[in-house]
Chains A and B, each alone.
Chain A
Amino acid sequence: GAGVSQSPRYKVAKRGQDVALRCDPISGHVSLFWYQQALGQGPEFLTYFQNEAQLDKSGLPSDRFFAERPEGSVSTLKIQRTQQEDSAVYLCASSLANRVDNEQFFGPGTRLTVL
C-alpha cells in the first residue's frame, strides 16, 4: 500500500537559494504535519494542516519558511534564502483524522544540505 512519500529525498542547495520540498500524504488523511530533524536530535514540529487549512505554524523558525496544502492533499514546504542552519531532514507525516490520539504515519524525509 502507498505510504507517505516525499521528494526529493536529497537536496543540496547553495546558501541563499530557495528550495521546495514536497509531501504526498496517505490518500484520505485529513491531517498533515511537517517536522524538522537535526542530526542526532528528535523531530521538531514545524506546522500542521487540517485539510487545506494551516491550523498551527508556531514551529516555523522564521518567515523564510512557508508551507501550503492548497487542495487538502499534497503539501509543499518552501524555504527561502536558505542558510546553513536550515540543513536537516524534513519529515512529513499524515494522520487519518484530526484527533490527538491518531497515529501519525511518517514519510522517509528529505535531507537538505545547505552549503
Chain B
Amino acid sequence: AQKVTQAQTEISVVEKEDVTLDCVYETRDTTYYLFWYKQPPSGELVFLIRRNSFDEQNEISGRYSWNFQKSTSSFNFTITASQVVDSAVYFCALSEAAGSARQLTFGSGTQLTVLP
C-alpha cells in the first residue's frame, strides 16, 4: 500500500529565507506520480507540480524548485526567497498507475508560516 510522510508539521521562516519541505513516499509500483498541492487559508487545494517516476530531473518554476530522488524515495520542495503570501499548508501526494485506482494519497501536510 502507498504512503506519504511529511515529517515537518510546522515550519516558520522570515521573509526572504529559503525553505525546504520534505516528502518521503512508499509504493510497490514502478510507475507512479508525485504531486505537490498548496492549501491557503481559504481551504482550496491548488496544484503546484506533477512528476512521474521515470523522470528524475529536478524542476524549477520561478521561486519554486523540486528535487526528486528515487534512491531515497523523496520528493522535496524548496521555496527560494520566501514571501508572506507563501504561507499555507503544503501537501505532497502520490498516485499509483497499477489497477484502476486513480485517487491521490496525501501526506499530513506541512504548515508553512512566512513572517514579515
Q: Quick check: A101 and B109 within 8 Å, CB to CB? A: no
Q: Is B71 an interface residue (CB 8 A)?
A: no
Check A100–B95 contact: CB distance below 8 A. yes
Q: A56-B101, A98-B102 are in contact. Are A109 and B43 (CB under 8 A)?
A: yes
- Closest CB in chain A relative to B48 CB, distance in Å: 10
Give the contacting residue for A43; candidates B45, B52, B96; CB below 8 A: B45
Answer yes or no: A77 CB below 8 A from chain B CBs.
no
Contacts of B96 in A (CB 8 A): 100
Can you sample 11 A-B contacts with CB below 8 Å?
A40-B109, A42-B106, A43-B106, A56-B101, A56-B102, A104-B47, A105-B47, A106-B44, A108-B42, A109-B43, A109-B44
Residue numbers of B with Cβ under 8 A of A are 4, 6, 33, 35, 37, 42-47, 50, 52, 91, 93, 95-97, 100-109
